[in-house]
Amino acid sequence: MWQWKEQYGSAILNQFKKLGLSLDWTRTRFTMDPEYQKAVEEAFRHYHKKGWIYQGERVINWCVRCSTSISDLEVNYVPEKTKLYYIKYGPFTLATTRPETKLGDTALAVHPDDKRYKECVGKNLEIESVDNDIPADQPAKKKRIKIAVVADQAVDPEFGTGIVKVTPAHDITDFEISQRHNLPSVKIIDEHGKMSKNAGIRYQSMKTAQAREQIVKDLEELGLMEKIEDYEHNIARCDRCNSVIEPLPSKQWFLKMDELAKLALESLERGEIKLIPERWNIPYENWLKNIRDWNISRQLWWGHKIPIEDEEDVLDTWFSSALWPFATLGWPKKTKDFKEYYPTDFITSDRGILILWQVRMVFSAKEFTGRAPFKKIFIHPTILTKDGKRMSKSLGTGINPLELIEKYGTDALRFGLAYQTTGLQDMRFNEDVILMGQKFANKIWNIARFVIGKVGENYEWKILKASADIRNEWAAKMDGTADYVTGQIEKCNFAEAANCLYHFVWHEFADKYIEESKDKEDLDTKNTLAYLLLNSLKLLHPFMPFVTEEIYSNLPLKNKKMLLVEEWPRP
């Protein structure tokens, strides 16, 4: 794995460099670095000492293919067409999408306010079921079993007939119902996705799909299946391999979340952090207010080993990543970097990891440093294909940014993406806008060539202050543009800022003022041209760093630094 990391681990960093990210490349970090591993161990020991880490059996999301537990946040819920089976349970009919789990039922549940079933609550009903002790090669037979009826708020009275079967070992909600009512749990599906011996000899060792087919056939033959309907609902699939998730009871390590959730909620409520756009406050708060204890153990062969003797499990990768803002700066040591650079200001990501990563960084930072890790969390739009599909390498719908750079140039790609980054949740990729960015880069180059030639070799280039050095409407327009663009960038309205710059530089500066200046040779005109060019380059630099830096490097300014570190226009 280390060899693989050495060979491929820098691929994303190399893309970042090509994209012109202005980062400090001497400070790259990896969560498996020795010093970072010490930080992860320190965090685990801290939680363990507080009594927040415990080992227990709970129904978790289990991926049969990956053979590991999966976080709730690493489960994709995909709408799929399936069947809804209406099964007779004595005097009742229950609707389920998973008839094979009937073999692990330990109760029936209704909503406390559902008057239809009020008299049954608290009783043990005797019902007919399929005899699972008869081999599959023999005809199905009935057997009578007893099953309890409980009332619980988790039941949706509008789903199916309003009465549901409770299978504590194979459904997370059912497990929680069983905990509230002290119900037994019977595990009938194993870690390989096969029916266990608890399913009876009739179904034992069958894959779940085969067992479903068999039990539906048996129930129909016994007259215990009322009807089967077409049904579409969300199927839980593994984010890594797309296999169907199997909820299973498993002994895992957990981190208590009550106090940590409060820290993250307080950070938002007190304004210590700000989510942009603001609508992301809702999923942030909802997750924290309905949080379960965090299953932090994984059965993988790569990762941070849980620092307990004889333990082979590793930590959930997000446990270590949650420490990123301060662990990368030397924590738990009070290093110079930690004192100088923590907390940071800004983080951005796609919405897919807001809960997985950003929220966890917030509560981890508050717990270990007492401060929020950053001030702004910008959730940028997810880039979809032109026809609105998710980008995916496996589906052949991905777009390689390096190929676009080769075709149009980095500045064109950056500007084109920013130009499309509105406040919408999704953004359909439009290559025409990248082409527009390429033409804009050429326009900027031609504007610069004209201005340098127009002011002449003897012109004394300097940083002009419009209010003191230039008093005309064009300097005022430039100042107004700078003021507006600055405000839009600070609000993360990048499309609005890019649109404003495009309009001003091309249609105002080039089409109007440059045309007006062609017949003029006075100093005020030269100063205005220089002022408009310099400030346009500065404002464009975050969007188009290469062409603006190259032009700036050719200006004969005294004591010149890189444009990257020059003072931002402040009207």
Q: 419-450: per-residue pLDDT in tens?
A: 998 878 888 888 999 999 999 999 999 999 99
pLDDT for residue 88 is more than 80:
yes
- Give residue 4's pLDDT band: very low, low, confident or very high (50, 70, 90): confident
Q: DSSP characters for 235-290?
A: EEEETTT-PBEEEEEEEEEEE--HHHHHHHHHHHHTTSSEEESGGGHHHHHHHHHT
**pLDDT in the model for residue 456:** 93
Average of per-residue pLDDT across 92-96 = 90
Among 3-7, 125-129, 192-196, the minimum mean pLDDT is found in: 3-7
| Superfamily designation of domain 24-52+256-379 | HUPs (3.40.50.620)
User: Distance from first CA to last CA of the chain, Å, rounded?
Assistant: 53
**pLDDT in the model for residue 213:** 96
User: Of the candidates 363, 343, 366, which has an alpha carbon nearest to the alpha carbon of residue 355?
Assistant: 363
Q: DSSP characters for 131-145?
A: -TTS-TTS---EEEE
**pLDDT in the model for residue 471:** 80
Whether 511 and 446 have beta carbons less than 8 Å apart is answered as no
| Mean pLDDT estimate for the chain | 93
Q: How far apart are CA 391 and CA 397, in angstroms?
A: 5
Amino acid identity, position 52 = W
pLDDT for residue 392 is more than 80:
no
- Give residue 571's pLDDT band: very low, low, confident or very high (50, 70, 90): low
The listed range with the strongest mean pLDDT (195-209, 239-253, 287-301) is: 195-209
User: What is the topology classification, in CATH, of domain 401-565?
Assistant: Isoleucyl-tRNA Synthetase; Domain 1 (1.10.730)
Average of per-residue pLDDT across 169-183 = 93
Task: Say how far residue 288 (Cα) sits from the centre of its chain.
Answer: 15
**Domain boundaries in the chain?**
24-52+256-379, 77-240, 401-565
Dump strand ranges (E) for 497-561.
none
How many other C-beta atoms lie within 10 A of the C-beta of residue 437? 26
- Give residue 385's pLDDT band: very low, low, confident or very high (50, 70, 90): confident
| Strands 75-89 vs 68-70: parallel, antiparallel or unpaired | unpaired
pLDDT for residue 394 is more than 70:
no
- Give residue 289's pLDDT band: very low, low, confident or very high (50, 70, 90): very high
pLDDT for residue 315 is more than 90:
yes
Tell me yes or no: is domain 77-240 CATH 3.90.740.10.
Answer: yes
Angle, helices 494-502 vs 473-490, to 10°: value is 160
pLDDT for residue 8 is more than 80:
yes
Between the alpha carbon of residue 259 and those of residues 185, 317, 358, 366, 368, the distances in Å are 29, 21, 17, 11, 13
SS3 state at 519: coil
pTM above 0.75, yes or no: yes
**Buried-exposed string 477-503: b where 16+ CB fall within 10 A, e elsewhere:** bbbebbebbbebbeebbbbbbbbbbbe
Average of per-residue pLDDT across 31-52 = 96
- Write the CB contacts of 489 (distance below 8 Å, at least 6 apart in sequence): 497, 542
